[in-house]
Amino acid sequence: MKIRHTQNVKERLQQAHKLMGISNRLSEDLEIIFNKWAKIKISDPNVKRLIQLAMVPNKEVLNNIQSGKENELSSYFINMCDRVFEYGMSSPSQLTDTTRGTLFGAYNAITGYYQNVRSYRDEEAKLKSLLFGGTAEMRTQRGFKLCEEFSTKGEEAFNLN
């Protein structure tokens, strides 16, 4: 039996090593960010605001939030935001020193909602939503950006006008 060592295999191994290095660097960068967020306190009203802005499904809802028209928000949207907030306030993973009342905890509430609370048709739908450009990925990315802004600007981060 002969095993051919082709250039293609070598290139693939080099790509894999490169990706592993990138992944390792990303992991280190996220650890630094999350540790920073774990030291930043955030009030419950600001957590609710962050959740609303991260979970907003369209421009109309965003405009209603920005102009204080809470009564024009759909019950579906309000209930979803309430479930995210409830998860953030009651899940055992949210009650540690690094999550309770911190910016990291607020971000973790959003990601935790999509991973542990939200119902999906099946595991494939969940995977697509979380990792392949689905609703969960988009909204957790928006939440991440809002948290980054809050970490430098405080409440001003929520003034999106």
Each residue's pLDDT tens digit, 128-149? 888 887 888 999 999 999 999 9
Helix (H, G, I), strand (E, B) or coil at 41: strand
CB 127 within 8 A of CB 115: no
d(CA 55, CA 77): 8
2, pLDDT greater than 50:
no
| Domain positions in the chain | 4-158
d(CA 14, CA 119): 39
